[in-house]
Amino acid sequence: MKCQFCEKKATHINPASVCDFHYVEAYSTQNIGGVQVHFKKMLKDQLEKVGMWKKEDETLDQWHIRCKERFYGKAKKKED
């Protein structure tokens, strides 16, 4: 059975026949203070809170580099 939105194999059949990607897009939420929040909004809010969301004047490549530098910098500090 195929996903109703794309050609991938449907891995979920309830409430709809969808692939993993489309299931997460439609149904993945987090309960925050009793409110269901879509995972992408929650992720964006958290990244903004720690200053890691993409800056307006930043290219995607620059953003990825900044994220990698921050991650590897923190990982290195934990090893020391």
Are the beta carbons of 55 and 47 closer than 8 angstroms?
A: no
- Residue 45 confidence (pLDDT): 95
Token duo for residue 13: 């059949």
- Residue 79 confidence (pLDDT): 65
Minimal CA–CA distance to 17: which of 31, 30, 7, 32?
Answer: 7
**Model confidence pLDDT, tens digit, residues 41-80:** 999 999 999 999 999 999 999 999 999 999 898 766 666 6
- Residue 15 confidence (pLDDT): 86
- Residue 33 confidence (pLDDT): 93
**Model confidence pLDDT, tens digit, residues 3-37:** 999 999 999 998 889 999 999 999 999 999 999 99
- Residue 74 confidence (pLDDT): 73
Q: Which of helix, strand or coil describes residue 12?
A: strand
Which residues have C-beta within 8 Å of that of residue 70, sequence separation ≥ 6?
52
**What is the full DSSP assignment across 14-49?**
SSS-B-HHHHHHHH-EEEETTEEEEHHHHHHHHHHH
